[in-house]
Amino acid sequence: MLSIVTFVLGPVQTNTYLIADEQGGEAAVIDPSDQGELIVAEAEQRGWRIGNIWLTHAHFDHLGGAAGVADRINPPPPVALHPDDYPLWRIQGGAPFFGMRIDPGPEPTIYLHHGQILHLGSNQLEVRHAPGHTRGHVMFYCAADGVLFCGDVVFQGSIGRTDLPGGDYDTLIASIRSQVLTLPDEARLLSGHGLDTCVGEERRYNPFLL
Ligand SMILES: [Zn+2]
Ligand SMILES: [Zn+2]
């Protein structure tokens, strides 16, 4: 089983997920959006060791806390990203477009690809490439726990914006149909913003998917 702690951080209220193997305490941070010191303090208090930073995509609001996490852990945890989002990572996740500057933290050294299996103790998470919000957006699916960390692909009653560079509406809808709606109705969706939902709820009520 995965233990999951949710933080809502940063200028646009982004969900950060600190996840850990319940037995061994190996932990990873999915989308450290801001205030890395808070994330590290929570892990330390629980006796968890953060060994990885996994990014769903490279928008600034999903990685603004990576530097703060990496600075407090020795050796710093490697950052994993899909290569199609590396150009976006290089420009601080688009922060300058919004009049902001961020420290994007350590260079990504793990390139994610569709179908890759990530290990966290005895837990396995499958990488699902879901372009449309950005070109290199990925989601992390733990089949055993029925949980999908879906970033900015789909939200409760909504979908990710497609008006930023690299976004494409038809591509996003196709990604949701092939990579989200193919999962069981009861699979939980932990999104990049807003409340948790599940596949069946969005299949039935999401106005963008009807
Ligand atoms: Zn985004
Ligand atoms: Zn976002």
Per-residue pLDDT of the chain (210 residues; tens, 9 = 90+): 999 999 999 999 999 999 999 999 999 999 999 999 999 999 999 999 999 999 999 999 999 999 999 999 999 999 999 999 999 999 999 999 899 999 999 999 999 999 999 999 999 999 999 999 999 999 999 999 999 999 999 999 999 999 999 999 999 999 999 999 999 999 999 999 999 999 999 999 999 999
Residue 17: the pLDDT is 98
24 Cα to the center of ligand 1, angstroms: 31
Rounded Cα distance between 44 and 82, Å, is 28
Residue 89: the pLDDT is 97
Rounded Cα distance between 105 and 188, Å, is 30
59 Cα to the center of ligand 2, angstroms: 7
23 Cα to the center of ligand 1, angstroms: 32
pLDDT 10s digits, 87-97 = 999 999 999 98
Using left for φ > 0, alpha for ψ between -120 and 50, and beta otherwise, residue 62 falls in alpha
Residue 20: the pLDDT is 98
Element (H, E) at 42: helix 36-46
Residue 155: the pLDDT is 98
Looking at the CA of 12, name the nearest ligand.
2
Rounded Cα distance between 26 and 118, Å, is 12
CA-to-CA dists, residue 21 to 9, 17, 25, 36, angstroms: 23, 13, 5, 20
92 Cα to the center of ligand 2, angstroms: 14
Rounded Cα distance between 83 and 210, Å, is 32
How far does the chain reach from its first CA to its final CA, in angstroms? Answer: 33
Residue 161: the pLDDT is 98
59 Cα to the center of ligand 1, angstroms: 5
23 Cα to the center of ligand 2, angstroms: 31
158 Cα to the center of ligand 2, angstroms: 13
Strands 197-198 and 154-155: unpaired
Looking at the CA of 15, name the nearest ligand.
2
32 Cα to the center of ligand 1, angstroms: 13
User: What is the value of pTM for the model shown?
Assistant: 0.98
Looking at the CA of 93, name the nearest ligand.
1
Residue 101: the pLDDT is 92
Residue 44: the pLDDT is 98
Residue 103: the pLDDT is 95
161 Cα to the center of ligand 1, angstroms: 8
